[in-house]
Structure 1
Amino acid sequence: MDDLLRPLIKILRAVGDSEEAFEAAAFLAWRRIAGEGLRKRAVPFRLYRKTLVVAVSDTTWQKQLEAESPQMLFRINSMLGQAVVTYIEFRVDPKTIAEERGRTYRITPIEPDKQEKQWLDAAQELRAAAAAHIKDEELRQRFLLAAGSAIDAQSRRKR
């Protein structure tokens, strides 16, 4: 995940005020700081005006995470190198948690080479727009892989 984070930070600095880029970065940072156990109980689903909205399974988790949110805010923003998130709102939403678990455990493994090809194919549309502005070849490749991964995941959810 660190392989995606470093290029994403560079992209954030380059794109300016792109809500979509900030949201993707916040989600990635959340998943990084949350760890495996917490990811099953708390799922980020929106970034709105620098407020990261996270679904939690019940009020016990909501209260526990609210107590820890200042530390989480610090870790997220430190990881991203700027204040992308200023507040974390924890909403009790077991349906979102169940949907995320379903997506996480339903996806069948794909060979890495085949998966990379799918991501690059899905990212072709971005090449002319966003990717053309990225001069660093390695950063452009990582950006396209990340974008392709996101597009591929969205298309799987629609099936």
Structure 2
Amino acid sequence: MSEPPDSSESVPENDAATEEEHDKQGLDLAKSLAGRLKQQAAKGGFKPVKRRRRPRIGGAQISSARPDDRDPQRLTNTLGRLMRDQGWEVDVAVHGVMARWQTIVGPEMAEHCKPESYDDTVLTVRTSSTAWKVQLDLLVPQLLFRLNAELGEGTVTQVKVLGPNTYTWRKGTRTVRGGRGPRDTYG
């Protein structure tokens, strides 16, 4: 086993030589700066440095190293902020659902039922025939559940199912119920 070095051994000669060659002027400078700092702290500390305004070029403020609103922004962040500020988030989400209508209701139902409009939590769906209107009327509770799961609770409160667009004999806003129409005998 080897023994640890004896602490009584003398420092090698080259370490003692470096100590003598060391520039004492730098050490004196550091000591004087530390003394001044102590005196300043004893007098009440340092005053905060007053920040100067950035110089303006042509009325616009110059950009700095830190990020701010004047720096180039990602388009997705800018569009997200615009939608949030304008209150368009729900409308955009609903239109996204309309674009994915086939995956939500299935390919066969999507072929015969198309979303027509969304206004104030009411989704209007147009069907291709009265048989599909009846079928969709039966599936409205399930459709509401699915849409609110996709968009957030309370986004769609009612689904209005309309039959196919057919020709109407009505002219004007006021008509007589059971009046003349396509099944009349005219005489």
More helix by share: 1
TM tier, smaller:
0.3 to 0.5
Q: TM-score, normalised by structure 1?
A: 0.45
Name the TM-score, length of structure 2 as normaliser. 0.39
